[in-house]
Amino acid sequence: MDRMNADFRHWLDDTCANPNLEETERTRLLVDWEKAPAARFCHPREEHLLPLHVCYGVANRACSAFFNLEIIGKKASTYLW
């Protein structure tokens, strides 16, 4: 389980923060997020990812920073645009 969580977090961190991604590619990756490693294991329902999609849609660029943290014993990530 920890490996699946880490794989998805790594994918999401890279997708949101990688300054070398073209925005068309970043958009495609976020639209097709279900194809990411362990996507549905980490997010059986997408409502927790919708705010991230909205923030990216408004900014249309890589995030400025991201933070990995733990909330009630669960690993989580936050992104700043």
Write out the residue range of the structural domain in which residue 52 sits: 2-80
C-beta atoms surrounding 42 within 10 Å: 20
Count up the domains in the chain and report the number: 1
Q: How far apart are CA 63 and CA 7, in angstroms?
A: 19
Longest distance between any two alpha carbons in the chain, whole Å: 35
Split at pLDDT 50, 70, 90, the class of 75 is confident
Over residues 28-35, the mean pLDDT reads 98
Split at pLDDT 50, 70, 90, the class of 73 is confident
Residue where the block lists tokens 């927790």: 48
Q: Are 8 and 74 in contact (CB under 8 A)?
A: no
